[in-house]
Homo-oligomer: A and B are copies of this chain.
Amino acid sequence: MTQQVEAVLEELKGRGHRMTPQRRAIVAEVLGSHGHISPQQIAGGLAETVPGMNVSTVYRTLELLEELGVVSHTHLGSGAEYHLADDRDHAHLVCASCHRWFSETVDKLGDVSEALRDATGFTPDLTHYAISGLCRQCATKS
């Protein structure tokens, strides 16, 4: 994973940006998060190891990484979740009943999007906003 971190940092450097310990730490944190992570989580987790690590730096770095196409984010009810951009078909399913949420790679999400596009003329990206609904368990109960 360290290699991947360095690769991203190199990419940054190639575009005229600078390597800093903060960026290195943030990139590592994102790559190390299996699936998804919020800006607050990143800031909180790094506060211990990187003294003075600040939320605004996290936000600025995430924005940069998104421009580079390294990550993308999803809007949950409140707050954002970041995940690797190459993690396609990565949907965020929020249960309206038990309030748990599932960040999962959904096979056939492409098919669903296509169906939606046929119905609306709008080409949807079902990963950018969370999707509300009922999880299997809660759906069974009711």
> Which among B115, B121, B123, B130 is the interface contact of A111 at CB below 8 angstroms?
B115
Return 7 A-B CB contacts under 8 Å, by A number.
A94-B129, A95-B122, A109-B119, A112-B119, A115-B115, A122-B136, A124-B131
Nearest first, the 10 closest Cβ-Cβ pairs linking A and B are A128-B132, A124-B133, A129-B129, A108-B119, A123-B134, A121-B136, A93-B122, A123-B139, A125-B132, A125-B133
Question: What residues of chain A have their CB less than 8 Å away from a CB belonging to chain B?
Answer: 75, 77, 91, 93-96, 102, 104, 106-109, 111-112, 115-116, 119-126, 128-136, 139
Cα separation A132 to B122 with both chains bound (whole Å): 9
Chain B residues with CB below 8 A from A95, complex form: 122
Chain B residues with CB below 8 A from A131, complex form: 116, 122, 124-126, 128-129
